[in-house]
Amino acid sequence: MGSVPAWARVYVACVVLAAMACLVPLPTIRTPWWVVVLLAALYAGCEQIPRYRPDGRPAPLAMGTFFPVLLAGAFLLPPPAAALVPLPGALLAPVEQRPRGLRRVWRAAQLAVALWAASRVHWALGGRDAVVEPRFPYALVPAGAAVLVFCLVLTVLDGGILVLADRVPVGSAWRGLFLRSLAPVAVHGLAGLMMAVLLRSPFGPVAALLVLLPMYVSCWVFAHYHRERAAHQATIRALVQAVDIKDEYTRGHSERVGQASMMIARELGMDDERVEVLRFAGILHDVGKLGVPTRLLRKDGPLTPQERRIIELHPEYGHEMVRGIGFLGEARSAILHHHERLDGSGYPYGLMGRQIPEFARVVAVADAFDAMTSTRSYRRARAVTAALEELERCAGSQFDPQMVEALVRALGRHGWHPAVTADDPCGNVPPNPGDARTPAQAVAGRRSPEDSGAASRRAP
């Protein structure tokens, strides 16, 4: 909705008119106004709590966290009064994206229409009597129908705005929207039903508010977690950008190694937390290059043995840099040991076989795979199939066969869709059957004294 098309504005205006029509009978109905005021105030307060996506970004206004308050209104109030409950909260809610005013109005109107429809269905099925004089499990029938209608109306309206404002194709705008939202809205509906019953019980409003307390606490905990996670992501991005600026030759390499490492980890059956940490390991594996003189990283021509030794210190530099970053966990060992080889000929410590940490063995394969399938100034990229054949040939001596097999299976299932390569803005990966470098040079990026020209100038 950044720059809102005219038809989208017309659509929003129509929904606003529908919401106003829902409110027209208000002066003629009998309703417990204290309940309207209480629920509206509760929802307005809840909307001020920050919400975050799993990636740490602020969640959009449409991600309703406190539907129990609204649905309690649908279960307790006549349809026009229920439609009134979300208006103050939606109109005062914090909004990140522009146009903020239009987004607030849209959300308020959408919720008003959805709640009017839910309350209408609930009352038509006799739900009001079932709440005032609780009769279970009968009370679940009208409440369930109201939740379904509420979710359906939100889905229909959301799909329309996606088509008109975000230009999503009609065939895919509504696909999956209803099913994705039904389960969380159903849970919120049960909490809303509990609130409604307690509000009408001898225990009164205080008991009803206790239903919200666990949800409020969990929301605060998740907000804190996602803020912390966003800070972690910002730390990673800053380090990666610093490496890319210093060694622009391999720009994008770190992100691709993180992507390939994550694919291997999932194929190995690692849990989500370890997969995330392994992605960090892949992204930061070359952070130690910040400690290597720029003139060596960008040198044209062969590296001298002394210069090679300096560059081979970058895993240790990297490990020192991230030692104090607690959330990296096992990633730190991968940063230190990703150039070790199973036969003991790697660096910095010449570890062999299982002495090499698991994360380091994963990142070593991902690093080598991206090195071969990325275009460099001294050679064109190899085809994915050729790169995998080379990895399989070196498995057991240079790479862990289990990690190589996992990458082969993952690519066979999902394919390889890498980020933009250093020299190809389109991200193409053209095959190069004529690449004549030795396997150790092609796979690990390790240059022998016989190398000459541009091929030998690159760091390991």
Q: What is the pLDDT of residues 103-127, one digit of tens each?
A: 899 999 999 999 999 999 998 998 8
Residue 58: strand pairing partners: 52
1-10, 29-38, 356-365, 380-389: least confidently modelled range: 1-10
11-25, 44-58, 197-211: least confidently modelled range: 44-58
Residue 399: strand pairing partners: 395
Residue 188 is predicted with a pLDDT of 84
The answer to whether the beta carbons of residues 342 and 396 sit under 8 Å apart is yes
The answer to whether the beta carbons of residues 384 and 416 sit under 8 Å apart is yes
- Mean pLDDT is highest, among 141-155, 172-186, 374-388, 406-420, for 141-155
- Give the pLDDT mean for 46-53: 63
Amino acid present at 411: L
Three-state DSSP class for 311?
helix
Q: Give the integer Cα–Cα distance in Å for 160 and 150.
A: 16
Pull the structure tokens for residue 258.
Answer: 């993180």
C-alpha angle 184/185/191, rounded to 5°?
95
The answer to whether the beta carbons of residues 31 and 77 sit under 8 Å apart is yes
- Give the pLDDT mean for 356-362: 95
Residue 159 has pLDDT above 60, yes or no: yes
Q: How many helices (H) and strands (E) does the chain have?
A: 21, 0
Q: Give the integer Cα–Cα distance in Å for 456 and 282.
A: 24
Length reported for the chain: 460
Residue 105 has, within 13 A of its CA and on its CB side, a CA count of 18
Higher pLDDT, residue 452 or 392: 392
Q: Tell me which residue of 432, 420, 451, 333 sits closest to 382, measured CA to CA.
A: 432
Q: Give the integer Cα–Cα distance in Å for 434 and 180.
A: 50
Residue 456 has what DSSP assignment?
G
Which string of DSSP letters, residue by residue, matches 115-175? Answer: HHHHHHHHHHTTHHHHHHTT-TTTTHHHHHHHHHHHHHHHHHHHHHHHHHHS---HHHHST
The answer to whether the beta carbons of residues 394 and 346 sit under 8 Å apart is no
How buried is residue 380: exposed, middle or buried, by Cβ count under 10 Å (0-12/13-18/19+)? Answer: middle
The answer to whether the beta carbons of residues 345 and 460 sit under 8 Å apart is no
Residue 387: φ, ψ to 5°: -65, -40
Residue 65 is predicted with a pLDDT of 55
Q: Give the integer Cα–Cα distance in Å for 243 and 247.
A: 6
The interaxial angle of helices 204-246 and 253-267, nearest 10 deg, is: 130
Express as a percent the part of the chain with pLDDT over 70.
81
Task: Collect all residues with Cβ–Cβ distance below 8 Å to 172 and sequence separation of at least 6.
Answer: none
Residue 154 is predicted with a pLDDT of 93
Task: Collect all residues with Cβ–Cβ distance below 8 Å to 250 and sequence separation of at least 6.
Answer: 244, 286, 374, 422
Q: Give the integer Cα–Cα distance in Å for 115 and 192.
A: 13
The answer to whether the beta carbons of residues 308 and 458 sit under 8 Å apart is no
Q: Give the integer Cα–Cα distance in Å for 97 and 386.
A: 46
Which string of DSSP letters, residue by residue, matches 368-397? Answer: HHHHHHS-BTTBPPPPHHHHHHHHHHHBTT
Q: Give the integer Cα–Cα distance in Å for 432 and 440.
A: 17
